[in-house]
């Protein structure tokens, strides 16, 4: 396989690593300062995977944009302070090794701030193993808009019909599927039905699922056959 043959695009939080409990705790601390709170259900359905701008509008609709910016910065400080040892989602390291052996380029596409993303990827020892890091807030539009995934494809030199995306949130699934990429919903937090309704083509518990590996090996064999027949 060459870089033009195929590409893999991953969300970060909740997909490569389970950090939802840390984010939820940071939001609860932030909200408690304003005598507010949310349930884990609300977090999963309306907060998880969204951009900071959208989240702060959701949580603090009565406050100004400047206040939203300061609150978002505070929340991210709380989150970073809570980060300890990070454990990758089962199967992630094997999948990265599979991709590296076949020269399949990898992008991480996230609504997380760059500081958070780089810190988490470094903690997972994956930062030096990706070919592109797409930060939603650095673009005109973040997830659920398809732009972050379209940007990831562009930076990898890939095509939607020759790519797979992996997402755990509703906004992320909508973004990836909206970009025309075959999208796996990673069912670590949300029901499979909700991920499919958002646009997931398939749902997996983690990256050890045999059906995923069968698909990957089939794609690798097809690419080799196409290259041999070229």
Distance CA 18, CA 15 (A): 7
Which of 11, 18, 20, 131 is catalytic? The answer is: 11
Spot the catalytic one: 13, 20, 131, 145. 13
> Is 62 one of the catalytic residues?
no
Round to whole Å and give the CA distance between 16 and 11: 7
Alpha carbon separation from 212 to 88, 142, 177, 205 (Å, rounded): 17, 27, 17, 11
Q: Which two tokens stand for residue 212?
A: 């995923």
Q: By three-state DSSP, how is residue 164 classified?
A: strand
User: How far, CA to CA in Å, does 70 sit from each of 50, 54, 97, 120, 216?
Assistant: 17, 14, 39, 22, 43
145 a catalytic residue: no
Q: Which residues are catalytically annotated?
A: 11, 13
């Amino acid at each position: 396989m060459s870089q033009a043959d195929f590409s893999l695009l991953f969300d970060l939080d909740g997909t490569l690593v389970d950090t939802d409990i840390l984010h939820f705790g940071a939001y609860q601390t932030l909200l408690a300062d304003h005598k507010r709170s949310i349930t884990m259900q609300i977090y999963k359905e309306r907060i998880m995977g969204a951009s900071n701008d959208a989240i702060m509008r959701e949580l603090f609709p009565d406050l100004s944009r400047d206040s939203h910016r300061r609150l978002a910065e505070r929340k991210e400080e709380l989150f970073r302070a809570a980060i300890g040892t990070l454990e990758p989602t089962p199967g992630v390291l094997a999948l990265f090794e599979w991709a590296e052996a076949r020269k399949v380029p990898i992008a991480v596409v996230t609504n997380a701030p760059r500081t958070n993303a780089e810190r988490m990827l470094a903690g997972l020892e994956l930062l030096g193993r990706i070919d592109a890091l797409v930060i939603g807030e650095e673009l005109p539009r973040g997830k659920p808009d398809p732009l972050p995934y379209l940007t990831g494809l562009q930076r990898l030199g890939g095509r939607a019909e020759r790519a797979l995306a992996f997402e755990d949130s509703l906004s992320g699934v909508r973004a990836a599927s909206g970009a025309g990429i075959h999208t796996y919903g990673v069912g670590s937090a949300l029901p499979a039905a909700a991920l499919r309704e958002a646009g997931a083509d398939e749902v997996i518990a983690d990256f050890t699922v045999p059906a995923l590996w069968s698909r990957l090996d089939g794609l690798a064999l097809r690419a080799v056959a196409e290259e041999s027949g070229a």
